[in-house]
Amino acid sequence: MKGLLIYEKAEIERNRSFIDRLINAAGSYSLTLTLVDDQGPIPEADFIFFRTRNSELAKELEQRNIRMFNRAEVNVIANDKLKAIQLVQLLGIATVPTRKIATVSELNEYPVVLKTIDGHGGKQVELVHTENEATTFLNTFSENTIIAQQYIETNAMDVRVFMLGEKVLGAVKRTGPTDSFKSNFTLGGTVEKYSLDSQQIANVEKIAKALKSDYIGIDFLLLPDETWIFNEIEDPVGARSYFETTKKDIAEPIMEYIHQKITKNERDEI
């Protein structure tokens, strides 16, 4: 079976190690995985592991009846923070209080967290304390849709859960630097392995089932009393913090999962 691994062109070198491991792991399951970037023509393939934030391209490829990991709608929802919040609210899971805003006059209290709906990696998100700071943020990202979220004290801690299908692969607790409210590992935060309780497992399984996702990250703010509230979904999700805390290669279970899904589809079609 011939597969494509699609990345944003600018992200390929930064992710070269993971890319190589995915290609090697694919070979263990008699799968061929070829790297292509999202800027050029996309050749025909039996399946695609889609690693970009380009939902329009995902939809286009899906219309070719190519099996997508993840499907296009997962990419759409995960890369729109407001849609992700709304989905999880419908599932009855606690979320960070969030609303879309267009002007500073819609903000009633400070501090408040402002985000573009499509930012990622800790970018295009700020904790603002004054009307002037909020104005600067809205002016800077005037072309983007912006959401305001209630600031919740977490000591810059959150939990990222790695999901493969409806199965929990693992979870990490991320703690941000002392001078930041952001917990992103790539921004200098620290990570440690995190064990989910039965209710937390039920939460993430419900989200993954509703999304019909293949491989995603689900982020929750971790409150001082150790409860959590949903914050964001990541697709594509990076695996650096997973490796850091487990020393396991996540490429292996991902390609095993893809092989199993493709094999099942072939059996079902017979």
pTM of the model: 0.92
Which residue intervals of the chain bear CATH 3.40.50.20? Answer: 2-75
pLDDT at 5 over 80: yes
- Tell me which fold the domain 2-75 belongs to: Rossmann fold (3.40.50)
Which residue intervals of the chain bear CATH 3.30.1490.20? Answer: 98-150
> What is residue 122's predicted lDDT score, i.e. its pLDDT?
82
**CATH number belonging to domain 77-93+154-251:** 3.30.470.20
**What spatial distance separates the first Cα and last Cα of the chain, rounded to whole Å?**
17
> What is residue 182's predicted lDDT score, i.e. its pLDDT?
53
> What is residue 253's predicted lDDT score, i.e. its pLDDT?
97
| Percent of all residues in the chain with a pLDDT value above 90, rounded to a whole number | 87
> What is residue 178's predicted lDDT score, i.e. its pLDDT?
60
- Asked which of 39-48, 132-141, 171-180, 214-223 is least confident by mean pLDDT, the reply is 171-180
Q: pLDDT-based confidence at 180, cuts 50/70/90?
A: low
> What is residue 264's predicted lDDT score, i.e. its pLDDT?
80
The whole-number average pLDDT for the span 164-183 is 82
> What is residue 129's predicted lDDT score, i.e. its pLDDT?
96
> What is residue 269's predicted lDDT score, i.e. its pLDDT?
59
> What is residue 179's predicted lDDT score, i.e. its pLDDT?
54
- How many CA atoms lie less than 13 Å away from 185 in the CB half-sphere? 19
CA separation for the pair 148, 152 (Å, rounded): 12
pLDDT at 131 over 80: yes
Residues 11-37: pLDDT tens digits?
999 999 999 999 999 999 999 999 999
Which residue intervals of the chain bear CATH 3.30.470.20? Answer: 77-93+154-251
CATH 3.20.20.80 fits 98-150, yes or no: no
Between β-strands 67-69 and 47-51, what pairing exists: parallel, antiparallel or unpaired?
Answer: parallel
Return the higher-pLDDT residue of 156 and 90.
Answer: 90
CA separation for the pair 173, 241 (Å, rounded): 9
